[in-house]
Amino acid sequence: MSEPAAYICARLFDGEAMHEDAALLVLDGLVAGHCAASAVPDGYASENLGDGILAPGLVDLQVNGGGGLMLGDAETLDDIARICKAHLPLGTTAMTPTLITDTRETTRRIVELGIAAAENTVAGFQGLHLEGPHLSASRKGAHDAGLIRPMDDDDSALYLKAADRLPSLMMTVAPETVTSAQITMLSNAGIHVSLGHTGAGYDRCRQAAEAGAACVTHLFNAMSPLQHREPGLVGTALDLGSLSAGLIADGLHVDPVAIRIALKSKTGPGSIFLVTDAMSQTGTDVTTFTLGERKIFRQDGKLTLADGTLAGADIDLPASVRFLVDRIGVDLETALAMATSIPADVINRPVGRLKTGRAADFVLFNGPDLGVKRVWLGGRSQ
Protein backbone atom coordinates (compact mmCIF):
# COMPACT_ATOMS: atom_id res chain seq x y z
CA MET A 1 0.00 0.00 0.00
CA SER A 2 1.21 3.49 -0.82
CA GLU A 3 0.92 6.62 1.29
CA PRO A 4 -2.22 8.64 0.60
CA ALA A 5 -1.31 11.64 -1.58
CA ALA A 6 -3.01 14.94 -2.36
CA TYR A 7 -1.95 16.85 -5.47
CA ILE A 8 -2.87 20.52 -5.15
CA CYS A 9 -3.19 22.61 -8.30
CA ALA A 10 -4.61 25.88 -9.50
CA ARG A 11 -7.08 24.10 -11.77
CA LEU A 12 -8.29 20.51 -11.85
CA PHE A 13 -10.32 19.13 -14.75
CA ASP A 14 -12.07 15.92 -13.72
CA GLY A 15 -13.21 14.90 -17.21
CA GLU A 16 -16.40 16.92 -17.11
CA ALA A 17 -15.82 20.16 -15.19
CA MET A 18 -13.00 22.45 -14.12
CA HIS A 19 -12.36 23.07 -10.41
CA GLU A 20 -10.32 26.01 -9.11
CA ASP A 21 -7.76 25.64 -6.29
CA ALA A 22 -8.42 21.94 -5.92
CA ALA A 23 -6.66 18.83 -4.71
CA LEU A 24 -6.72 15.39 -6.32
CA LEU A 25 -6.71 12.61 -3.72
CA VAL A 26 -4.89 9.37 -4.57
CA LEU A 27 -4.80 6.17 -2.53
CA ASP A 28 -3.21 2.85 -3.53
CA GLY A 29 -2.99 3.80 -7.20
CA LEU A 30 -6.63 4.85 -7.43
CA VAL A 31 -8.43 8.17 -7.37
CA ALA A 32 -9.95 8.71 -3.94
CA GLY A 33 -11.80 11.86 -4.95
CA HIS A 34 -11.00 15.56 -5.09
CA CYS A 35 -11.64 18.48 -2.78
CA ALA A 36 -10.83 22.12 -2.22
CA ALA A 37 -7.12 22.78 -1.78
CA SER A 38 -7.84 24.04 1.72
CA ALA A 39 -9.74 20.91 2.74
CA VAL A 40 -7.27 18.05 2.24
CA PRO A 41 -8.18 15.27 4.69
CA ASP A 42 -5.83 14.32 7.51
CA GLY A 43 -3.37 11.60 6.60
CA TYR A 44 -2.76 12.76 3.01
CA ALA A 45 0.71 13.94 2.06
CA SER A 46 0.24 17.11 0.01
CA GLU A 47 2.26 18.21 -3.02
CA ASN A 48 1.61 21.64 -4.48
CA LEU A 49 1.84 21.49 -8.29
CA GLY A 50 1.57 25.24 -8.75
CA ASP A 51 -0.31 27.09 -11.47
CA GLY A 52 -0.78 24.21 -13.89
CA ILE A 53 -3.84 22.25 -14.96
CA LEU A 54 -4.30 18.72 -13.65
CA ALA A 55 -6.43 16.51 -15.93
CA PRO A 56 -7.18 12.86 -16.61
CA GLY A 57 -4.68 11.04 -18.79
CA LEU A 58 -5.54 11.57 -22.45
CA VAL A 59 -7.33 8.88 -24.47
CA ASP A 60 -6.50 8.22 -28.15
CA LEU A 61 -8.57 5.75 -30.19
CA GLN A 62 -6.53 6.00 -33.40
CA VAL A 63 -2.81 5.39 -32.94
CA ASN A 64 -1.12 3.63 -35.84
CA GLY A 65 2.29 3.54 -34.22
CA GLY A 66 4.97 5.29 -32.24
CA GLY A 67 8.56 5.08 -31.13
CA GLY A 68 9.66 4.29 -34.68
CA LEU A 69 7.30 1.33 -35.08
CA MET A 70 3.98 0.83 -36.88
CA LEU A 71 1.57 -1.55 -35.19
CA GLY A 72 1.55 -3.76 -38.29
CA ASP A 73 5.28 -4.33 -37.83
CA ALA A 74 4.97 -5.40 -34.19
CA GLU A 75 6.26 -8.90 -33.54
CA THR A 76 6.43 -9.10 -29.75
CA LEU A 77 4.67 -7.93 -26.63
CA ASP A 78 7.54 -5.50 -26.08
CA ASP A 79 6.70 -3.89 -29.43
CA ILE A 80 3.16 -3.15 -28.25
CA ALA A 81 4.57 -1.69 -25.03
CA ARG A 82 7.03 0.41 -27.06
CA ILE A 83 4.22 2.01 -29.08
CA CYS A 84 2.20 2.79 -25.96
CA LYS A 85 5.24 4.14 -24.13
CA ALA A 86 6.09 6.54 -26.98
CA HIS A 87 2.84 8.43 -26.36
CA LEU A 88 3.11 8.59 -22.58
CA PRO A 89 5.32 11.73 -22.41
CA LEU A 90 2.70 13.42 -24.59
CA GLY A 91 0.06 12.87 -21.92
CA THR A 92 -1.68 9.88 -23.54
CA THR A 93 -2.17 7.25 -20.86
CA ALA A 94 -4.85 5.20 -22.64
CA MET A 95 -5.01 4.19 -26.28
CA THR A 96 -6.22 1.63 -28.78
CA PRO A 97 -3.26 0.86 -31.07
CA THR A 98 -4.58 0.83 -34.63
CA LEU A 99 -3.85 -1.62 -37.43
CA ILE A 100 -4.47 -0.19 -40.87
CA THR A 101 -5.43 -2.50 -43.74
CA ASP A 102 -3.05 -5.46 -43.84
CA THR A 103 -2.88 -9.17 -44.66
CA ARG A 104 -4.86 -11.88 -42.91
CA GLU A 105 -1.66 -13.16 -41.32
CA THR A 106 -0.67 -9.76 -39.94
CA THR A 107 -4.18 -9.08 -38.64
CA ARG A 108 -4.22 -12.41 -36.82
CA ARG A 109 -0.76 -11.78 -35.34
CA ILE A 110 -1.72 -8.32 -34.08
CA VAL A 111 -4.93 -9.64 -32.53
CA GLU A 112 -2.93 -12.30 -30.67
CA LEU A 113 -0.40 -9.68 -29.52
CA GLY A 114 -3.25 -7.45 -28.40
CA ILE A 115 -4.75 -10.25 -26.33
CA ALA A 116 -1.32 -10.84 -24.77
CA ALA A 117 -0.99 -7.10 -24.07
CA ALA A 118 -4.32 -7.17 -22.24
CA GLU A 119 -3.41 -10.28 -20.26
CA ASN A 120 -0.07 -8.76 -19.27
CA THR A 121 -1.59 -5.36 -18.47
CA VAL A 122 0.66 -3.35 -20.77
CA ALA A 123 0.59 0.23 -19.54
CA GLY A 124 -1.73 2.38 -21.64
CA PHE A 125 -3.19 -0.47 -23.67
CA GLN A 126 -7.01 -0.30 -23.82
CA GLY A 127 -7.69 -2.60 -26.79
CA LEU A 128 -7.26 -2.54 -30.54
CA HIS A 129 -8.65 -0.58 -33.46
CA LEU A 130 -8.74 -2.47 -36.76
CA GLU A 131 -9.01 0.17 -39.48
CA GLY A 132 -9.67 -2.13 -42.43
CA PRO A 133 -9.35 -4.26 -44.46
CA HIS A 134 -13.09 -4.05 -45.16
CA LEU A 135 -13.04 -0.60 -46.73
CA SER A 136 -13.83 0.97 -50.09
CA ALA A 137 -10.88 1.09 -52.49
CA SER A 138 -12.32 4.30 -53.93
CA ARG A 139 -11.74 6.03 -50.57
CA LYS A 140 -8.59 4.18 -49.52
CA GLY A 141 -6.50 7.20 -48.55
CA ALA A 142 -3.06 5.85 -47.64
CA HIS A 143 -4.33 2.25 -47.30
CA ASP A 144 -3.03 -0.40 -49.71
CA ALA A 145 -5.86 -1.03 -52.20
CA GLY A 146 -4.45 -4.48 -52.93
CA LEU A 147 -5.19 -5.60 -49.37
CA ILE A 148 -8.76 -4.27 -49.16
CA ARG A 149 -11.32 -7.12 -49.28
CA PRO A 150 -14.78 -8.25 -48.15
CA MET A 151 -15.37 -9.84 -44.75
CA ASP A 152 -15.68 -13.64 -44.72
CA ASP A 153 -16.42 -16.26 -42.06
CA ASP A 154 -12.77 -16.64 -41.05
CA ASP A 155 -12.55 -12.89 -40.48
CA SER A 156 -15.73 -12.92 -38.41
CA ALA A 157 -14.45 -15.76 -36.23
CA LEU A 158 -11.24 -13.84 -35.52
CA TYR A 159 -13.08 -10.64 -34.63
CA LEU A 160 -15.49 -12.42 -32.30
CA LYS A 161 -12.56 -14.09 -30.54
CA ALA A 162 -10.81 -10.74 -30.20
CA ALA A 163 -13.93 -9.06 -28.85
CA ASP A 164 -14.20 -11.74 -26.17
CA ARG A 165 -10.62 -11.33 -24.94
CA LEU A 166 -9.69 -7.68 -25.49
CA PRO A 167 -10.61 -4.77 -23.21
CA SER A 168 -12.20 -3.17 -26.27
CA LEU A 169 -12.22 -3.64 -30.02
CA MET A 170 -13.04 -0.91 -32.52
CA MET A 171 -13.40 -1.73 -36.21
CA THR A 172 -13.57 0.72 -39.11
CA VAL A 173 -15.61 -0.63 -42.04
CA ALA A 174 -17.13 0.88 -45.17
CA PRO A 175 -20.93 0.40 -45.28
CA GLU A 176 -20.84 -0.71 -48.93
CA THR A 177 -18.36 -3.54 -48.23
CA VAL A 178 -20.10 -5.18 -45.26
CA THR A 179 -23.71 -6.20 -44.80
CA SER A 180 -26.09 -4.89 -42.18
CA ALA A 181 -26.19 -8.41 -40.74
CA GLN A 182 -22.42 -8.39 -40.33
CA ILE A 183 -22.51 -5.01 -38.60
CA THR A 184 -25.21 -6.27 -36.23
CA MET A 185 -23.18 -9.41 -35.50
CA LEU A 186 -20.10 -7.35 -34.65
CA SER A 187 -22.05 -4.84 -32.58
CA ASN A 188 -23.86 -7.56 -30.64
CA ALA A 189 -20.46 -9.04 -29.76
CA GLY A 190 -19.47 -5.75 -28.14
CA ILE A 191 -17.34 -4.50 -31.03
CA HIS A 192 -17.43 -0.75 -31.56
CA VAL A 193 -18.21 -0.50 -35.26
CA SER A 194 -17.03 2.71 -36.90
CA LEU A 195 -17.81 3.82 -40.44
CA GLY A 196 -15.08 5.21 -42.65
CA HIS A 197 -13.10 5.02 -45.88
CA THR A 198 -16.36 4.93 -47.77
CA GLY A 199 -18.14 6.41 -50.74
CA ALA A 200 -21.56 5.28 -49.51
CA GLY A 201 -24.53 7.62 -49.57
CA TYR A 202 -26.70 8.75 -46.70
CA ASP A 203 -29.27 5.95 -46.94
CA ARG A 204 -26.69 3.16 -46.76
CA CYS A 205 -24.79 4.89 -43.96
CA ARG A 206 -27.97 5.37 -41.97
CA GLN A 207 -28.81 1.67 -42.46
CA ALA A 208 -25.36 0.80 -41.09
CA ALA A 209 -25.99 2.99 -38.05
CA GLU A 210 -29.36 1.37 -37.48
CA ALA A 211 -27.66 -2.03 -37.73
CA GLY A 212 -25.31 -1.14 -34.88
CA ALA A 213 -22.50 1.12 -36.10
CA ALA A 214 -21.93 3.77 -33.45
CA CYS A 215 -18.97 5.80 -34.64
CA VAL A 216 -17.31 7.50 -37.61
CA THR A 217 -13.56 7.37 -38.29
CA HIS A 218 -11.67 10.67 -38.82
CA LEU A 219 -14.67 12.79 -39.77
CA PHE A 220 -14.48 14.43 -43.23
CA ASN A 221 -11.42 12.44 -44.30
CA ALA A 222 -11.68 9.48 -46.74
CA MET A 223 -15.48 9.56 -46.87
CA SER A 224 -18.39 10.71 -49.02
CA PRO A 225 -18.85 14.46 -48.43
CA LEU A 226 -21.98 16.39 -47.54
CA GLN A 227 -23.57 17.61 -50.79
CA HIS A 228 -26.91 19.30 -51.19
CA ARG A 229 -28.54 16.31 -52.92
CA GLU A 230 -26.48 13.54 -51.31
CA PRO A 231 -25.38 14.09 -47.69
CA GLY A 232 -23.00 11.11 -47.69
CA LEU A 233 -21.29 9.86 -44.53
CA VAL A 234 -20.40 13.39 -43.41
CA GLY A 235 -24.08 14.32 -43.50
CA THR A 236 -25.03 11.08 -41.73
CA ALA A 237 -22.50 11.70 -38.97
CA LEU A 238 -23.74 15.24 -38.39
CA ASP A 239 -27.40 14.26 -38.62
CA LEU A 240 -27.55 11.20 -36.36
CA GLY A 241 -27.14 11.61 -32.63
CA SER A 242 -26.32 7.91 -32.35
CA LEU A 243 -22.99 8.37 -34.13
CA SER A 244 -19.87 9.65 -32.39
CA ALA A 245 -17.03 10.85 -34.59
CA GLY A 246 -13.26 11.04 -34.32
CA LEU A 247 -11.58 14.21 -35.58
CA ILE A 248 -8.00 15.00 -36.55
CA ALA A 249 -7.57 18.62 -35.40
CA ASP A 250 -4.29 19.66 -36.99
CA GLY A 251 -5.56 22.29 -39.45
CA LEU A 252 -4.45 20.11 -42.36
CA HIS A 253 -6.91 17.23 -42.40
CA VAL A 254 -9.96 19.43 -41.78
CA ASP A 255 -10.37 23.17 -42.36
CA PRO A 256 -11.23 25.20 -39.23
CA VAL A 257 -14.55 26.30 -40.78
CA ALA A 258 -15.59 22.68 -41.27
CA ILE A 259 -14.61 21.89 -37.69
CA ARG A 260 -16.72 24.76 -36.36
CA ILE A 261 -19.73 23.65 -38.41
CA ALA A 262 -19.33 20.06 -37.20
CA LEU A 263 -19.09 21.07 -33.55
CA LYS A 264 -22.24 23.17 -33.85
CA SER A 265 -24.04 20.15 -35.35
CA LYS A 266 -22.83 17.52 -32.87
CA THR A 267 -23.81 18.13 -29.26
CA GLY A 268 -24.93 15.80 -26.52
CA PRO A 269 -25.02 12.06 -27.37
CA GLY A 270 -22.82 11.16 -30.30
CA SER A 271 -20.20 13.81 -29.67
CA ILE A 272 -16.98 14.54 -31.54
CA PHE A 273 -13.72 13.40 -29.96
CA LEU A 274 -10.08 13.96 -30.84
CA VAL A 275 -7.73 11.41 -32.40
CA THR A 276 -4.14 11.83 -33.56
CA ASP A 277 -3.99 9.18 -36.31
CA ALA A 278 -0.36 9.02 -35.19
CA MET A 279 2.19 7.03 -37.18
CA SER A 280 5.52 5.48 -36.23
CA GLN A 281 7.30 8.85 -36.13
CA THR A 282 5.72 9.83 -32.82
CA GLY A 283 8.41 10.12 -30.19
CA THR A 284 11.21 10.30 -32.78
CA ASP A 285 12.88 12.95 -34.96
CA VAL A 286 12.81 10.95 -38.21
CA THR A 287 11.90 12.77 -41.43
CA THR A 288 11.02 9.69 -43.53
CA PHE A 289 9.73 6.21 -42.76
CA THR A 290 7.91 3.42 -44.57
CA LEU A 291 4.33 2.20 -44.64
CA GLY A 292 4.51 -1.27 -46.11
CA GLU A 293 6.79 -0.70 -49.08
CA ARG A 294 5.85 2.96 -49.52
CA LYS A 295 7.88 5.89 -48.20
CA ILE A 296 6.20 8.53 -46.06
CA PHE A 297 7.64 12.02 -45.87
CA ARG A 298 7.49 14.19 -42.72
CA GLN A 299 7.74 17.94 -43.19
CA ASP A 300 6.17 21.03 -41.63
CA GLY A 301 3.83 19.01 -39.42
CA LYS A 302 2.53 16.96 -42.34
CA LEU A 303 2.91 13.29 -43.32
CA THR A 304 2.40 12.41 -46.98
CA LEU A 305 3.05 9.72 -49.54
CA ALA A 306 5.17 10.64 -52.56
CA ASP A 307 2.05 11.73 -54.47
CA GLY A 308 1.02 14.13 -51.69
CA THR A 309 -1.70 11.91 -50.16
CA LEU A 310 -1.99 12.53 -46.42
CA ALA A 311 -0.71 9.48 -44.55
CA GLY A 312 -1.66 9.83 -40.92
CA ALA A 313 -0.95 12.91 -38.86
CA ASP A 314 2.01 14.50 -37.11
CA ILE A 315 0.27 15.96 -34.08
CA ASP A 316 -0.27 14.96 -30.44
CA LEU A 317 -3.40 15.30 -28.34
CA PRO A 318 -2.26 18.33 -26.28
CA ALA A 319 -1.54 20.20 -29.52
CA SER A 320 -4.96 19.12 -30.84
CA VAL A 321 -6.68 20.48 -27.73
CA ARG A 322 -4.70 23.72 -28.06
CA PHE A 323 -5.73 24.00 -31.73
CA LEU A 324 -9.41 23.71 -30.79
CA VAL A 325 -9.07 26.39 -28.13
CA ASP A 326 -6.88 28.84 -30.05
CA ARG A 327 -8.11 28.42 -33.63
CA ILE A 328 -11.68 27.17 -33.29
CA GLY A 329 -12.75 29.00 -30.13
CA VAL A 330 -13.72 25.90 -28.16
CA ASP A 331 -13.72 26.38 -24.38
CA LEU A 332 -10.93 24.53 -22.59
CA GLU A 333 -13.24 22.20 -20.65
CA THR A 334 -14.97 20.97 -23.83
CA ALA A 335 -11.68 20.57 -25.68
CA LEU A 336 -10.19 18.54 -22.81
CA ALA A 337 -13.31 16.37 -22.63
CA MET A 338 -12.86 15.62 -26.34
CA ALA A 339 -9.48 14.09 -25.46
CA THR A 340 -10.47 12.34 -22.23
CA SER A 341 -13.99 11.41 -21.15
CA ILE A 342 -15.70 11.43 -24.55
CA PRO A 343 -13.39 8.90 -26.26
CA ALA A 344 -13.35 6.82 -23.06
CA ASP A 345 -17.14 6.62 -23.23
CA VAL A 346 -17.04 5.64 -26.92
CA ILE A 347 -15.24 2.39 -26.02
CA ASN A 348 -16.86 2.04 -22.58
CA ARG A 349 -13.56 1.99 -20.68
CA PRO A 350 -13.07 3.27 -17.10
CA VAL A 351 -10.52 5.92 -18.07
CA GLY A 352 -10.68 9.59 -19.00
CA ARG A 353 -12.18 10.78 -15.70
CA LEU A 354 -10.71 11.55 -12.29
CA LYS A 355 -13.46 9.65 -10.55
CA THR A 356 -13.35 7.81 -7.25
CA GLY A 357 -12.21 4.22 -7.70
CA ARG A 358 -10.66 4.69 -11.14
CA ALA A 359 -6.97 4.29 -11.89
CA ALA A 360 -4.99 7.39 -10.92
CA ASP A 361 -3.77 8.11 -14.45
CA PHE A 362 -3.42 11.85 -14.83
CA VAL A 363 -1.34 14.58 -16.44
CA LEU A 364 -0.11 18.01 -15.37
CA PHE A 365 -0.17 20.71 -18.04
CA ASN A 366 1.92 23.82 -17.50
CA GLY A 367 -0.93 26.21 -18.30
CA PRO A 368 -2.80 27.58 -21.33
CA ASP A 369 -0.26 26.30 -23.86
CA LEU A 370 -0.88 22.75 -22.52
CA GLY A 371 2.73 21.69 -22.42
CA VAL A 372 3.01 18.38 -20.57
CA LYS A 373 5.02 18.74 -17.34
CA ARG A 374 4.36 15.39 -15.61
CA VAL A 375 2.41 12.20 -16.14
CA TRP A 376 1.21 9.68 -13.56
CA LEU A 377 0.15 6.07 -14.08
CA GLY A 378 -1.56 4.30 -11.22
CA GLY A 379 -0.57 7.17 -8.97
CA ARG A 380 3.12 6.88 -9.82
CA SER A 381 4.96 9.74 -11.51
CA GLN A 382 6.56 8.57 -14.75
Active site residues: 277
Task: Report the SS3 class of residue 125.
Answer: strand
Which residue in 54, 86, 65 sits closest to 292, CA to CA?
65
Which residue in 208, 188, 108 sits closest to 155, CA to CA?
108
**Burial state string for 320-354 with b = 16 or more CB within 10 A and e = fewer than 16:** bbbbbbeebebebbbbbbbbbbbbbbbbebebbbb
Task: Report the SS3 class of residue 247.
Answer: strand
Radius of gyration of the chain (CA): 20
Q: Is the peptide bond before 133 cis (omega within 30 degrees of 0)?
A: yes
Distance of alpha carbon 59 from alpha carbon 41, whole angstroms: 30
21 torsion bin: left (phi>0), alpha (psi -120 to 50), beta (else): left
Within 8 A by CB and 6+ apart from 154, the residues are: 104
Which residue in 380, 377, 366, 326 sits closest to 87, CA to CA?
377
Distance of alpha carbon 64 from alpha carbon 277, whole angstroms: 6
Within 8 A by CB and 6+ apart from 333, the residues are: 13, 16, 17, 18
